[in-house]
Chain A
Amino acid sequence: MLFGALFASYILIRTGAPSWPRGDTILNVPLATFNTLVLISSSVTMVMAWASLMRHRFGTFRIYMGATILLGFVFLVVKYFEYSHKFHDGLFPSTNNFLAIYFTLTGLHMLHVAGGMAVNAYFLGPGAKLWKTNPEWFTNRVEHSGLFWHFVDLVWIFLFPTLYLL
């Protein structure tokens, strides 16, 4: 809903603007492509973590879950470099409409990534206790945190072409 409203705002602002820059004239496409691949990979490791639990392989789960969190972290680090580079060049959300919507959408998305990482970290750390007492519940909880993570991936899949390539 939140992202849907912002996407709608983006369309309105863009169609209403007399001119609109192509994303790749301002933004760094190779970095964003790399980030897309990172996020897709993290979605795969997430689903593999869940599949490991379904096979009752807790050790494999820990590896995949760790990889998921690590990939999320890589995503955030790359995003940090992108942001700081923009700020360094004097490009701020207040500079123009394109940058305003860019920072709003990607910033909000980053918050979702951070939130998903926090939940995943909980299931890798303290939350993993549940595996010993009730593996079924634990598996289902990991599946649900996975659903959120895939949703974050899904949003990025649309954000990437919209902001960077068009």
Chain B
Amino acid sequence: MASTTTDHAADIDRHVKVYITVFVALMVLTIVTVAISAVHLPVPIAVTVALLVATIKGSLVACYFMHLISEKKLILWVLAADRRVLHRPAGASRHHAQQRLLDSLMNLRSVHALLILLSAILAVLFGVWCLGQYGRGNGVANLLAAVTAFALSAGLLVYDSWFLRKTRTAAMTSPSASSATRGRARPTASSVSWVDRPAVVGESGGTDRSGLPGLLRGRGGPR
């Protein structure tokens, strides 16, 4: 136990170093974006640059402060876990063929994949519209926007196929953590269980579908 605590402290020390680096980067980028705006570039370029810098800053906050980068596996796990896996103990409805069909369609994985696909189609349509605007002699910005939209659409499609491939098999079969440590965190009321993450795991019960704690361990919690 002592050794894990030490590992853990070292882990957090590393995190803190990253936070400081990100902090400095955010400060510098803020100054950069203000400095660029003082130059008074043409509007389309100014918009592109400002939003690019803002996206970089936003990604830094989301990935490091909000820990999304170390939770990638967890997010995939959640998106990949269909309702059959999550609700197995509920039992009753699973014999219903109709219900099962609905379950297989209405899982987060397929909804996510579908929404990404729709976004890609929307981006293509937007790109075509921009091209039309450009064809009518409405400035280079429209051409730029069309190219961006097509690139975005291609990126979304690549992501979608990657996501579907990634979540097909591996995500569900992560090594499980020992149930002994999780037992402690069993919730008294289900309403708090979504606030306190260990309790969610405790609630979902058995060791068979407990990829979650194994994945959480990577980013470390006081458990």
**Chain A interface residues (CB < 8 Å from chain B):** 24, 29, 33, 36-37, 40-41, 43-44, 46-48, 51, 53-56, 135-137, 139-141, 144, 146-147, 150-151, 153-154, 157-158, 160-162, 164-166
Query: What residue in chain B is nearest A40 (Cβ atoms)?
Result: B26
Instruction: Please give, as numbers and ranges, the residues of chain B lying within 8 Å of A135 by CB-CB distance.
Output: 222
How far, in Å, is A45 (CB) from chain B's closest CB? 10
Chosen A-B contacts, 14 in total, with CB atoms closer than 8 Å, are A36-B30, A44-B65, A47-B19, A48-B16, A55-B12, A136-B221, A139-B222, A140-B195, A144-B195, A146-B65, A153-B61, A154-B61, A158-B54, A160-B33
A-B contact count (CB 8 A): 104
Q: Are B66 and A136 in contact (CB under 8 A)?
A: no
Q: Are B19 and A48 in contact (CB under 8 A)?
A: yes
Give the docked Cα–Cα distance between A46 and B64 (Å). Answer: 12
Instruction: Please give, as numbers and ranges, the residues of chain B lying within 8 Å of A153 by CB-CB distance.
Output: 61, 65
Q: What per-residue 1/0 map shows which CB atoms of B49-65 lie under 8 Å from chain A?
A: 01101100110011001
Q: Are B221 and A139 in contact (CB under 8 A)?
A: yes
Q: Are A47 and B222 in contact (CB under 8 A)?
A: no
**Chain B interface residues (CB < 8 Å from chain A):** 8-9, 12, 15-16, 19-20, 22-23, 26-27, 30-31, 33-34, 37, 43, 46-47, 50-51, 53-54, 57-58, 61-62, 65-66, 185, 192, 195-199, 220-223
Query: What residue in chain B is nearest A41 (Cβ atoms)?
Result: B23
The verdict on A157 contacting B15 (CB below 8 Å), with A54-B222, A140-B197 known, is no
The verdict on A54 contacting B19 (CB below 8 Å), with A157-B54, A158-B58, A161-B33 known, is no
Give the docked Cα–Cα distance between A164 and B46 (Å). Answer: 12
